[in-house]
Structure 1
Amino acid sequence: MDTHNTMRRKLRRVQVCKGGVDVQNGNMKRDMGKVLRAIPLGNNEDTDVPMEDRDDPMEQDCFSSGFFKNENLENAMIMAPRYSLLREVGRGSYGVVYEAVARKTGARVAVKKLRCDAPENVELALAEFWALASLEKKHENVVQLEECVLQRNGLAQKMSHGNKRSKQYLRLVETSLKGERVLGGPEEPCYLWFVMEFCEGGDLNQYILSRRPDPRTNRSFMQQLSRAVAFLHQNNIVHRDLKPDNILISQRSGKPVIKVADFGLSKVCAGLGAEHDVVGGGGDQGERTANRNTVNVNKFWLSSACGSDFYMAPEVWEGHYTAKADIFALGIIIWAMIERITFIDGESKRELLGSYVRRGGDIVPVGEAMLENPKMVLSIPARSRSCMSEGLRRLLLDMLAVNPQDRPDATQLQTRMDQITCAA
């Protein structure tokens, strides 16, 4: 039990580091209304260009507008600002999220500013960048990355996935791998700017708990979540931190659309080059299929115990797990969403969707309780007047099986979920 408590404290520190965001309703912060300045870049990605001289240091927030063929940087044209920050919508320990508008098109975007001032922050930022940048195709239910820009000490550079010519990119990777600062001290601030699609519906907690129960919306969300996880796993990405906070809602199409977001703890489980090379460290090892650039994510063993404790599978607490841990987390989310099971987070004091096991006057994460008692039988549905169908009840029990091998994989889950929702 002492080991579990120690691990939980460690995991909560990870949650703080990765900057789960809460909506801010207070006064506008100092950054509000600032403009992300476009700056010229040379004709290759190894060129860093100084920004315009500005009296206000807060005006130095910037990102690249593209690449210029003119090799003479002194003659390169300074372009007009591309995005204007409207308001802060979230804040974590190492990053801030803004709602912004593209000045040319008027489109709203989310701009995430991550401070890379420590190796652990760099690791989380690069994990998110690698996951989103590695996707060759878009998916309706996965948040879309428009661009990512590295800003350091008045210099800016557009990031591209696996760019070995960029010294700044390689320095970031070196910082993450070595676990030590190589980009300079506080006098040389380093940031990564992520420009992503904006989700005006908030997160899943806010959307579900601010509305009356709607079986049609629940069915739609279950389908969309299953399709998103199937897409990620088919593209060798294990999210590792699925929870309602990291599931955003877009309403631009006139109906709510799920967007899985926040890939700071994700793992890209793909082989690169040599037979035994894999993306990511920490002792994670993968089993390859016929294509050496892909792996079976359900046989790719991960060893870094991370995530948010109320959604973690039993095997994650032990530090030896596969992509099936995402299936468990999704089972907790769907169960809580259908029956509106909530708890109050001790740190943020927010009401959150999440299933749990009662132990006296305390509540215990389902995964932790199962680890301590593998023969425990979950009471699904939890409410006597639940409208949960028998098909969904059986599926949730399978998703929350203590043995990962007894859980459906993401493709099987999508098929079964489609059958259940279509029959309803």
Structure 2
Amino acid sequence: MEVCEGTKRRKVSGGPRGCRRSAAGNMKLEAGQVLRSLTVEDNNRTKPEHDEEEDDDCFSISFLRNDRLDPGVAVSPRYSLLREVGRGSYGVVYEAIARKTGARMAVKRLQCDAPENVELALAEFWALTSLENRHQNVVQLEECVLQRNGLAQKMSHGNKRSKQYLRLVETSLKGERILGYPEEPCYLWFIMEFCEGGDLNQYILSRRPDPHTNRSFMRQLTSAVAFLHKNNIVHRDLKPDNILISQKSGSPVLKVADFGLSKVCAGLNCRNSEERPAAAADSKGSNQNNIVNINKFWLSSACGSDFYMAPEVWEGHYTAKADIFALGIIIWAMIERITFIDAESKRELLGTYIRQGTEIVPVGEALLENPKMVLHIPQKARSSMSEGVKKLLQDMLAVNPQDRPDAFQLEVRMDQVTCAA
């Protein structure tokens, strides 16, 4: 479910948004669909003045094979598309091979033909390229390429020289559809690390319950969210579908992905640093300063997936603490294996809810309607949930965002309760 500007608009009953992994996309693509690179030009050097249309097509690299390319030009394939692994309303995800290293990659193609698609694509681009450091639990973006008219340009953060990039930004801001030839649409290609373990739904529900795995995943998830908040990024769509699993190291490593609804809260400073909790007054104080500030940044565009949305998101006035609520729903559902059936895809998904007669209602929506409602954690009588985890989940799911721990406090407390379990 997505809600925009405070108006509830049910699209899918608790279902996923965007590019989803599916078993339906296992067919091999034709051999001709190969990502290629041509001679790289310096995109930042001063160019002589040209006709505007010619300058618009001055891309630094060509990314896709195109029949119009001069057959005499020597090209060296960079990536080979192997198969489609996911498809959504605004994009497709492929598994690919980096020809130089042999590494498996995920290639996400987003069609930028409508303002809402451009906004989602740029949100993901801005979030991932704003991260100066890597984190093992956040999906890694290798490169992003803007493609149009069979040519392409490698994108970089804050690139103000590219007219195509500026046109995308203008399209997103003005909400006007890009005009062009329908047979030659504009695309953004994201080249990212490939997560062969599927998403959190698939991984958890295809295996027997394992308390050790649960504790590991809980620590990894809180570490990822703390990292994002320290870097002034609010994810806004945390859910099991958007948490991928990498097994390259032998043990499962979670990767928070899909930043199409994320918000980079730029321009924050430390003026509120004196308000940080005393518990954070240690060597990590600078990180806490960032988190305090991001929790002072108010967002008004209500968006996300309904089963994971905090009460204040339904109202359209919220902060980064909404991510903490969503994380609480995910962890609670993971520990007790609480699931529902998505009305559109018919998939079984992890997610906690409140029963009202024959209906199931998202926890956030139920708390908004009845703020005094007491959540029964754990739900199941035979649950092995410790008292420490139970209390932490109750705090994460507090109806008042101010009563929830921030991402730094959560990381510290999660380490404590999982080590004690």
Q: Please, what TM-score do these two structures have when normalized by structure 2?
A: 0.86
Match of residue 307, structure 1, among 286, 304, 309: 304
Higher mean C-alpha deviation, range 322-331 or range 173-182: 173-182
Match of residue 249, structure 2, among 238, 249, 253: 253
1:42 and 1:412 map into 2 onto residues whose CA distance is: 47
**Counterpart for residue 285 of structure 1:** none
Query: Offset of 1:39 from its aligned partner?
Result: 2.3
Q: How does 1:62-81 map to 2 (within 5 A)?
A: 78-81=74-77
Q: Is the 8 A contact 2:66 2:150 kept in 1?
A: no
**Counterpart for residue 59 of structure 2:** 48
**Counterpart for residue 377 of structure 1:** 374
1:136 and 1:98 map into 2 onto residues whose CA distance is: 26
Give CA-to-partner distance per residue, 1:126-165, whole Å, 9 cap, x none.
Answer: 0000000000000000000000000001121000001111
Structure 2 counterpart of 1:377, which letter? V
Q: How does 1:5-24 map to 2 (within 5 A)?
A: 7-10=7-10, 12=12, 19-24=18-23
Q: Is the 8 A contact 1:270 1:295 kept in 2?
A: no
Q: How does 1:1-400 map to 2 (within 5 A)?
A: 7-10=7-10, 12=12, 19-25=18-24, 28=27, 34-45=33-44, 47-48=58-59, 78-182=74-178, 184-271=180-267, 296-400=293-397
1:125 and 1:14 map into 2 onto residues whose CA distance is: 22
Query: Offset of 1:184 from its aligned partner?
Result: 2.4
Structure 1 gap segments, 5+ residues each: 61-73, 276-288
**Counterpart for residue 280 of structure 1:** none
Give CA-to-partner distance per residue, 1:395-420, whole Å, 9 cap, x none.
Answer: 00000000000000000000000001
Q: Is the 8 A contact 2:113 2:185 kept in 1?
A: yes
Query: Offset of 1:293 from its aligned partner?
Result: 10
Structure 1 counterpart of 2:302, which letter? A
Number of aligned positions between the proteins: 388
1:267 and 1:344 map into 2 onto residues whose CA distance is: 29
Structure 2 counterpart of 1:257, which letter? V
Aligned residue for 1:138, secondary structure, equals coil
1:55 and 1:370 map into 2 onto residues whose CA distance is: 54
Structure 2 counterpart of 1:367, which letter? G
Q: Is 1:413 matched with 2:372? A: no
Q: Is the 8 A contact 1:33 1:85 kept in 2?
A: no
2:291 and 2:211 map into 1 onto residues whose CA distance is: 38
Change (3 A) 1:41 1:31: same
Aligned residue for 2:209, secondary structure, equals coil
Query: Offset of 1:294 from its aligned partner?
Result: 9.7
Structure 1 counterpart of 2:347, which letter? R
1:178 and 1:422 map into 2 onto residues whose CA distance is: 50
Q: Is the 8 A contact 2:311 2:365 kept in 1?
A: yes
- Higher relative contact order at CA 8 Å, sep ≥6: structure 1 or structure 2? 2
Query: Offset of 1:188 from its aligned partner?
Result: 3.2
2:234 and 2:149 map into 1 onto residues whose CA distance is: 33
Q: Please, what TM-score do these two structures have when normalized by structure 1?
A: 0.85
1:84 and 1:131 map into 2 onto residues whose CA distance is: 26
Structure 2 counterpart of 1:181, which letter? R
1:252 and 1:51 map into 2 onto residues whose CA distance is: 31
Give CA-to-partner distance per residue, 1:48-85, whole Å, 9 cap, x none.
Answer: 2685997769xx9xxxxxxxxxxxxx9x9643011101
**Counterpart for residue 280 of structure 2:** none
Change (3 A) 1:164 1:183: farther
Q: Is the 8 A contact 2:29 2:81 kept in 1?
A: no
RMSD: 2.9
Give CA-to-partner distance per residue, 1:200-226, whole Å, 9 cap, x none.
Answer: 000000000000000000000000000
